[in-house]
Amino acid sequence: MQELTHYIDGAHVKGTSGRFADVFNPATGEVQTRVPLAGTDEMERAVEVARKAQPGWAATNPQRRARVMMKFVQLLNRDMDKLAEALSREHGKTLPDAAGDVQRGLEVVEFCIGAPHHLKGEFTDSAGPGIDMYSMKQPLGVTAGITPFNFPAMIPMWMFAPAIVCGNAFILKPSERDPSVPLMLAELMEEAGLPKGILQVVNGDKEAVDAILHNEVVQSVGFVGSTPIAEYIYATGCANGKRVQCFGGAKNHMIIMPDADMDQAADALVGAGYGAAGERCMAISVAVPVGDDTADRLIEKLAPRVEALKVGPYTSGNDVDYGPVVTAAAKGNIERLVQSGIDQGAKLVVDGRNFSLQGYEDGFFVGAHLFDNVTTDMEIYRKEIFGPVLSTVRAQTYEEALGMAMDHEYGNGTAIFTRDGDTARDFASRVNVGMVGVNVPIPVPLAYHTFGGWKKSMFGDLNQHGPDSFKFYTRTKTITSRWPSGIKEGGEFSIPVME
């Protein structure tokens, strides 16, 4: 069986811990390769390589660092199809969606090309008599990131592009479920001109993560994944004196007002609820129609659309709306939660149970499910399902709908569909959620804005990409400077004498 490697000091390096994880093709259920799980010593070696390489990179002027990013963008475009195919094969998402995953990361790299501008400091002339004051933004040193399975291209690039362009070295610990694309990205960065040791990929699980968290050389840790792990990494990283940003799970509500265009809302919900099999942290998993009449009209429009969704392997081309979920365990968890919804009294309007695809019976496919009459005490409402399951919770008033989004423990994204500007404005202003869509179901900010949720969806201060990323990956140093007054009168031509 093919065996993946780590990428350390500019080379593919075999794992030495003797521990491995299986990497599946979710469409067939077959193990297609295995990935080494690093031990503490392997992580320490990568950190040591990074520590030695980083000062030279930090001393490279920002324009040259940005040129590596420019070249990297070209290479990503050159290899787009190859990257998307490798991504779909391990993750299961459709090819256009996989290309979108690469593209959204690429856009962060494009933003990072502006580093020479973003890294400029401030300057005050004559802050006091003969005194100037200025600030510099300097890299942290060795930085690290731990990423989830659901965006194996975009999320590593969210982190390593700004970290590296700021002059840091970066160690990526990608998800063990789909590690091939992160390894390909590291190779492309070096082809783009990045010196060895500045971007390394160390594959692994908790042991590799703990080796990052307890390594004194590592200055910052970025994490994206589920909330319990985000809390653990935030607490441990902070206790060890590191700069930490952790992004967790989600339960995104979409509120549908009585005046919304119901066709538009239903179209938005099928894309946002079922795209990528619901395995997106910005997926809409809860629809909140306001008023029973709105709810009835919505379900009437939604049910046939959900029933018509085409589920299949990425190899079927553009004919498929979504693919399998990532593992058999994820499928089992979704099925268990669907059953709990039924047991707790929700109405299963579209039943995706027992979905099977001829020729792919062992794949991790889950049919599309639509629930109505979900209540806020049910497990399917409280928990993140991360699958193709949309729950409809009926609200009687706008305030009740707003209150649901506000009272939920997660606060990643939310949306409102309405034709009324006043309601939309009130919602955007009052809701305690980090990213808000007005008639836009998945309001993922573009690379030059910042991405981040509130409440249990985010731990830390600074968001991903945009100007925040330059703050996260640099330290500010402020210099107050006065020079003794020098000779201003010109040269002395007569011999100096003691008077």
Out of 120, 206, 419, 425, point to the residue binding ligand NAD (CB under 6 A). 206
Residue 203 or 423 having the CB closest to ligand NAD: 203
* 246: annotated active-site residue: no
Residue 146 touching ligand NAD (CB under 6 A): yes
Write down the least CB distance from residue 340 to ligand NAD, Å. Answer: 18
Distance, CA of 150 to CA of 326 (rounded, Å): 8
Taking CB under 6 A as the rule, does residue 24 contact ligand NAD?
no
Angle, nearest 10°, between helix axes 95-112 and 62-78?
170
Give whichever of 107 and 176 is closer to ligand NAD, judged by the CB atom.
Answer: 176
Q: How many CA atoms lie less than 13 Å away from 368 in the CB half-sphere?
A: 29
What mask, x for binding ligand NAD by CB under 6 A, covers residues 455 to 484? --x---------------------------
- Alpha helices per DSSP H over 376-482: 379-382, 398-407, 421-430, 466-472
List the x/- string, 243-262, binding to ligand NAD by CB under 6 A.
Answer: ----xxxx------------
Tokens encoding 191:
């082809």
Please pick, among 112, 166, 246, 281, the residue that the annotation labels catalytic. Answer: 281
Q: Which is nearer to ligand NAD, 372 or 384 (CB)?
A: 384
* DSSP, res 384: -
Q: Is 47 in the site for ligand NAD (CB under 6 A)?
A: no
Does position 364 bind ligand NAD by CB under 6 A?
A: no
Q: Which CB, 156 or 289, lies closer to ligand NAD?
A: 156
Q: Which residues contact 485 (CB under 8 A, 6 or more apart)?
A: 130
**Interface with ligand NAD, residue 170, by CB under 6 A:** no
The nearer residue to ligand NAD, 194 or 435, going by C-beta atoms, is 435
Give SS3 for 440: coil
Q: Which stretch binds ligand NAD (CB under 6 A): 126-134, 170-178, 398-406, 437-445?
A: 170-178
Can you read off the two tokens belonging to residue 279? 């395995």
Per CB under 6 A, the segment of 66-74, 193-201, 225-233, 337-345 that binds ligand NAD is: 225-233
Residue of the chain from 150, 220, 285, 474 that contacts ligand NAD (CB under 6 A): 150
Comparing CB distances to ligand NAD, the nearer of 206 and 310 is 206
In the numeric block, the tokens 């379900």 are attached to 299
Does 209 sit near ligand NAD (CB under 6 A)?
Answer: yes
Asked if residue 398 binds ligand NAD (CB under 6 A), the reply is: no
Instruction: Tell me whether residue 394 or residue 471 sits nearer to ligand NAD (CB atom).
Output: 471
For ligand NAD, the nearest residue by Cβ is 225
Helix (H, G, I), strand (E, B) or coil at 477: strand
Distance CA 136, CA 122 (A): 7
CB 230, min distance to ligand NAD, A: 7
CB of residue 457 to ligand NAD, shortest distance in Å: 5
The correct pick among 24, 314, 371, 386 for binding ligand NAD (CB under 6 A) is 386
> Cβ 35 to ligand NAD, closest distance in Å?
10
Rounded CA-CA distance 73/357 in Å is 38
**What angle in degrees, to the nearest 10, is found between the helix axes of 95-112 and 154-165?**
10
Which uninterrupted H or E stretch holds 169?
A: strand 169-173
Spatial separation of the C-alpha atoms in residues 199 and 201, rounded to whole Å:
7
Nearest distance, CB of residue 251 and ligand NAD, angstroms: 9
Question: Going by C-beta distance under 8 Å and a sequence separation of 6 or more, which residues neighbour residue 228?
Answer: none
Number of Cβ atoms within 10 Å of the Cβ of 253: 27
Beta strand 20-25 with 30-36: parallel, antiparallel or unpaired? Answer: antiparallel
Q: Is 229 in the site for ligand NAD (CB under 6 A)?
A: yes
- Among 10, 62, 148, 237, which residue sits at the site for ligand NAD (rule: CB under 6 A)? 148
- Number of residues engaging ligand NAD in binding (CB under 6 A): 26
Q: 62 phi and psi, to 5 degrees? A: -60, -30
CA atoms of 331 and 382, how far apart (whole Å): 18
Kindly state whether residue 225 participates in binding ligand NAD, applying the rule CB under 6 A. Answer: yes
- Asked if residue 185 binds ligand NAD (CB under 6 A), the reply is no
CA distance 349 to 368: 10
What 3-state DSSP class applies to 282? coil
Indicate the residue among 221 and 350 with the shorter CB distance to ligand NAD.
221
Bridge partners (DSSP) of residue 391 are 286, 371
Residue selected from 54, 88, 143, 147 as contacting ligand NAD according to rule CB under 6 A = 147
Spatial distance between the Cα atoms of 221 and 428, rounded to a whole number of angstroms = 31
Cβ neighbours of 358 (radius 10 Å):
5
What's CA 120's distance to the chain center, in Å? Answer: 27
Of residues 281, 385, 395, 442, which one binds ligand NAD by CB under 6 A? Answer: 281
DSSP 3-state of 244: strand
Residues 6+ positions from 490 with CB-CB distance below 8 Å: none
Q: Nearer to ligand NAD by C-beta: 289 or 460?
A: 460
Q: In angstroms, what is the minimal distance from the CB of 343 to ligand NAD?
A: 23
Write down the least CB distance from residue 41 to ligand NAD, Å. Answer: 18
C-alpha distances out from residue 29 to 91, 216, 236, 427, Å:
11, 40, 35, 43
Does 368 contact ligand NAD by CB under 6 A? Answer: no
205 lines the binding site for ligand NAD (CB under 6 A): yes
Residues annotated as catalytic (active site), given as ranges? 281
Binding residues (CB under 6 A) for ligand NAD: these are 146-151, 173, 175-176, 205-206, 209, 224-226, 229, 247-250, 281, 384, 386, 412, 453, 457
